[in-house]
Each structure stands twice: as structure tokens, then as C-alpha cells.
Amino acid sequence: MASSRPNIVFMLLDNVGYGDPGCYGGGITRMAPTPRVDGLAAQGLRLTNFNVEAECTPTRAALLTGRMPIRTGCDRVRFGEKNGLAPWEYTLAQLLADVGYDTAIYGKWHLGNVPERHPTAMGFGEWYGIQDSTDPVFDHFNVGKGIRKRSTQIWEGTAGEPAVPVGEYTPEARRLIDAEVTDRACRFIADHAGGDRPFFLYVPFTMIHHPSLPHPDFAGRSGNGDFADSMMEVDHYSGRIIDAVDAAGIGGDTIVVWASDNGPPSHGTLGPQGDPGPFRGCLGTALEGQLRVPCVIRWPGHIEPGRVSDDIVSVLDFYVTFANLTGGRVPTDRAIDSLDIGPLLDGSGPSPREHLIAFVRDTLAAVKWHQYKLHLVEFTTEPGRRYKLELEFPQLYNVAADPKEQWDILGTNLWIAEVAQEIAADFFSTMVEFPNVPAGADAPPGVEPVAT
């Protein structure tokens, strides 16, 4: 297979914090060693300034569209309504399928709860997993006498046919689902390796999202509770997928990415959860402990082993990067916020990203420029509670010198605030030419709901 058409295996973890894997300072220090992820980092590139969105749905939408979630109607997790990506969006899976890739997703979708927004209607040839979050598993613990619990399903489907439920997502199923996801991913790799068509395999594990209920084979293994057991479990599954790539003899033709979708949650309903490492903040905020998460990328022969980069990278950036590596077409009829990090991957140059904009739902919360970060609104959390703090004045931090964002330096650096505000103004100006897709709508206002 030509190196210009690599296979892509993208493993996305749910709510793993910066400080959880061993290669980011966690692992054995949390009594949850992660030798397989650590080994993957040693074989490739470890990003220390990789940034995601404030919740599960926004991050996944950003990855698959290269567009800020505020543009796609996916700025938050929504309940009880038609949600997720509009059929008009042109997903990374569609982009790759259009240039000859076989595509599959095994795991958590969280980008649509109706058939026309399921993954098999949006570019994926195969799907097995859950439609939304793991949260409904809690319903099985909290049902009162005479109260009927919600039934949350595991789904399976192929392109061209409606997906169907194949089992209830119960606490027992929660313990088993990622083993099944891994089995299917490994089979897909074996079946598609060395064929005439490259493949895109997206593996959004349900772990480590609470409740962290480990598989029976891993329960008690860490000696440090369910979360540590589950971290060891998903490290094992990640290793199995890596091994499947290598056993098929396609390591040099395959980009493997391992990343998280969010920082850790603000509460541990069933015990301790993830760790933000040296940063402050958690899921649902614009603090570094939420924005920065682990991301390692391996591509033998293209990415030098053992590299570490602190360049700013966004989850948005995989869209254009993969399009350029594969000959895919990036749409021009909509705003695309993704940048090409190809030079960063092969070592020929830095990341082109000098800034990023952090929304929490539909609120612009912060602007990050080089090592500086301007907070316009602060979202902060205590266990089980979230606060939106209206700031009398913006707050400016040097996150390289002050990773916990505690020392406001605005007073002596007003010019940096002006730069950040210009960045925000430029972003909002693009919404005039390219209006946002309202949540639940099938296309932007005045546009036919068909991708072009």
C-alpha cells in the first residue's frame, strides 16, 4: 500500500485525564500501570498540548467535521430531542469513504439519536456500540420501588440499512462491551489488512466514563478500585488493537492515534475518577485540566519514535490532516476550523496552530494564544455542581509558567488581551458568511440538507 494512503486507526477514550496514563505522569503512580499506551508513545509522538472540547459530543463533532461544535449544533450533550450532527455535515468517515476507504466504528457514537444521524448514515460502513452516553447505566442502580427504569440499547448496523438494537446496556453489559468492541476492531483489521482498499477504523471506547465497572477478568487487578482496574483494562484492549495492526504486517502503512475526548469529570459517583495532571479544571470548563488531554500518534517510517511536542494541536486538526494525507476533499461551502499538522507529524515543521478558541456550550469562555490564555467567562466545578462566573474583567494567564491558571497577569499585558479579542472577533465574523447549523436542524438556515 502506498504511504500516501495510510490506514487510520483512531482510539478515543472517554474522560481520561492528562494525568492518567503513565507516559503523562500517571500509570503506576495511580496504581494503574498503562504499559501499552506508554509503549505506543515511545514508538511515536506524544503531544503535551493537545486540546479538546468541553464535553463528549462537542469533541466528537469537532473530530469528525473539522468544525467548531458551535457551528454544527453540537455544542453540548443534549437529551430528549433530535440531536447530533445534521445530515448536511460532511464527516471524516464520508470524506475517506469517498476516496476509497473502508470505514467502521465500534464503540460510543454520541452524535445522533435518530436513524439519519446514526454513524452508518454518516460515512461508516459498520457500527457496533452505544448511541449516547454511559450515564444511563446509573439508572439501574437508582430505580425506586414501582419506578420503571429507562431501557438503553446497544446498537449494530451496516451502511444502507437501519441500525438495530441488539441488547440492553445494563451494568453487566457495561462491564463487557469494550471487550466486544476490541474483538470486533481486531477482526476488522485482520479482514482488511493488505487489501486493495485502505481503511479508517474509529474505536471510541466507552471507558473510562463513569460508572467505571471493570470486566470480571480485570476486577480487583489493580488493588486500587474500579477506576484503576478499568484503566488497566482499556490499556490492555489498546494493546490488542496495536498488536492486531502489527500482526497483520501493516504497521508502517497505518497511523495509530490514542487520545481522550475530555478531561476528568468533577465527581466520582462510584469512587475516584480521572486526574488532570499538573493542571486545574475538569470536564465542562475551559481550564487546562479539561482542554489538555493525552494524545499519542504512531506512524512508523514517518513519525520518529520517542518524540514529544508541546505545540498547540486541536482535535479539530485531524480532519484536514487526514484529508491531505489521503487525497480527500475538504469542503469549501462551510467554515472549516481544522489545520494541517502533517509537518508536525513528520518533523518537517511545527504545528501551524498558534491559537484556539474554547467554548463551553454556546459561551465563548477563553482564547488561547501561544502560552497565554484569556478567560472571558470562567466555568468552575465542585463535586456534582457547575458554576458559570461572570468576570468583571477578563483574566489572563501564562499557562506555561502557571499551568493551574492562578496568577492573573492582565494588568501588565493588556496588549495580549487585545490580540485574543481580535482572534475571537475574527472567528465570530465567519458566522456571517457561514451561518451555524441550529441544534436539531438538518442544515444551516436557507441551505438544502444535503452535503455537497
- The residues assigned a catalytic role are 56, 110
The grid cell for 50 is 493537545
Cβ atoms within 10 A of the Cβ of 141, count? Answer: 11
Cβ burial of 5 (10 Å; 0-12, 13-18, 19+) is: middle
Side-chain half-sphere of 28: how many Cα atoms within 13 Å? Answer: 4
Q: How far is CA 143 from the centre of its chain?
A: 31
Coil vs helix vs strand at 291 = helix
- 64-98 burial code (b ≥16 CB/10 A, e <16): bbbbbbbbbbbbbbbeeebbbbbbbbbbbbbbbbe
Could you tell me the CA-to-CA distances from 63 to 10, 100, 222 in Å, in that order? 10, 20, 32
Which secondary structure element, helix H or strand E, spans residue 320, and what is its range? helix 318-326
**What single letter denotes the amino acid at residue 188?**
F
Chain centroid to CA 148: how far? 33
Q: DSSP 3-state assignment of 379? A: strand
Q: How many CB atoms lie within 10 A of CB 153?
A: 17
Give me the helix-helix angle, 35-43 and 226-247, nearest 10°: 40
Q: Which of 359, 319, 302 is nearest to 202 (CA)?
A: 319
Whether 419 and 394 have beta carbons less than 8 Å apart is answered as: no
Strand order in the sheet with 153-158: 164-168, 153-158, 126-130, 102-108, 199-204, 7-13, 254-260, 295-298, 45-47, 307-309
Please give the DSSP secondary-structure letter assigned to residue 112: B
Contact 371, 276 (CB under 8 A): no
d(C-alpha 102, C-alpha 202), whole Å: 11
Count of C-beta atoms within a 10 Å radius of residue 420: 23
In DSSP terms, 367 is beta-bridged to 357, 374
> For the chain, how are helix, strand and coil distributed in percent, rounded to 5?
30, 20, 50
Between β-strands 307-309 and 313-314, what pairing exists: parallel, antiparallel or unpaired?
A: unpaired
Which cell numbers in the block locate residue 83? Answer: 440531536
C-alpha cell recorded at residue 150 = 429507562
- Pinpoint the alpha helices (H) of 349-451: 414-433
Ramachandran angles phi, psi of 356, nearest 5°: -150, 160
